[in-house]
Structure 1
Amino acid sequence: MRKKDISEWNTTDFTKYLQEEHLRRYGVEYQPFGKWAVEQGHIGRIIGTTKKEGTHSKEFLKEFIDACFNEYKPTALYPGISFGFMLTYKKPTWQRVELAHLKKSRVEDAESATDWDEVEKWL
């Protein structure tokens, strides 16, 4: 799965990533926040499905998940973190990653606009 480009990931790929990364980082199996179908529904709503467009890019979602994993400090009572927990309790992390993505997008838009301006001047 890791060899697959993130732009090609689907809900199943994100679920596998959560499981693999959770086990690697915390040494315990991943457990969903409630039911698997609920978490997968949230992922599908965010990245989109074959029938419906998502609200955010797959790259954004992976960065959000990674940021949550990086920030989480396991305890004896809570040895791991779930995607449902991330969505519910890590809203400041979501906003920080979202802001970074918006800034990056604006910079890329400005750079591509500048490139076209230069081409037009040259022509």
Structure 2
Amino acid sequence: MTRISTKDFRNLPIGKWNVTTFREYLKHVHEGRYGIPYVTRSYTMEGRMLKMSLAEYNQVVLKRFIDACFADYKPTREYPGLNYALMYSYIRGRLLPRVLDELCREEARLQRQVEVTQVSTEEIIDYL
């Protein structure tokens, strides 16, 4: 069995993503979206922010938040790119609640589907 590198976000299951994986993901998405290299003021500070976010939420929430930030951000001449420090400091208060709400709604919808499926299965067994 080959071991997948934590830098390989494409092949590593989201549940195993860590700070290194998220940094690689940020670099990849940033360069693909804006066509310029990913730059941050301090990788150490940004790493702490990512680690705190992972501890408070989980990988799915963090990835959705990052994706929402990239989708929402409009580059300017003065700020042609985006980094996690900016997302965490200035965008989190506006977009993270929306991401959390969407995930809660999805989870509730899935739970309802499971309950309907279980009820239907039980009804079929009772019928037989």
The alignment's TM-score, normalised by the length of structure 1, stands at 0.82
- The structure number with the bigger radius of gyration is 2
Deviation at 1:79, TM superposition (A): 0.9
Listed one character per residue, the Cα deviations across residues 7-31 of structure 1 (whole Å, up to 9, x for unaligned) are 2211100011111111111122212
Structure 1 CA distance for aligned equivalents of residues 11 and 27 of structure 2: 16
Aligned residues, how many?
116
- Among 93, 96, 102, the alignment partner of 1:94 is 96
**1:54-73 residue pairs with structure 2 within 5 A?**
54-73=55-74
Structure 2 CA distance for aligned equivalents of residues 4 and 99 of structure 1: 26
Structure 2 CA distance for aligned equivalents of residues 40 and 64 of structure 1: 16
| Aligned residue number for residue 34 of structure 2 | 26
Unmatched tracts of structure 2, length 5 or more? 1-7
Residues 118 and 97 from structure 1, CA distance in 2 versus in 1: closer, same or farther, beyond 3 angstroms? same
| Aligned residue number for residue 42 of structure 1 | 49
Unmatched tracts of structure 1, length 5 or more? 48-53
Superposition RMSD on alpha carbons, in Å?
1.7
1:85 and 2:92 aligned:
no
- Taking only the aligned residue pairs, the percentage that are identical comes to 29
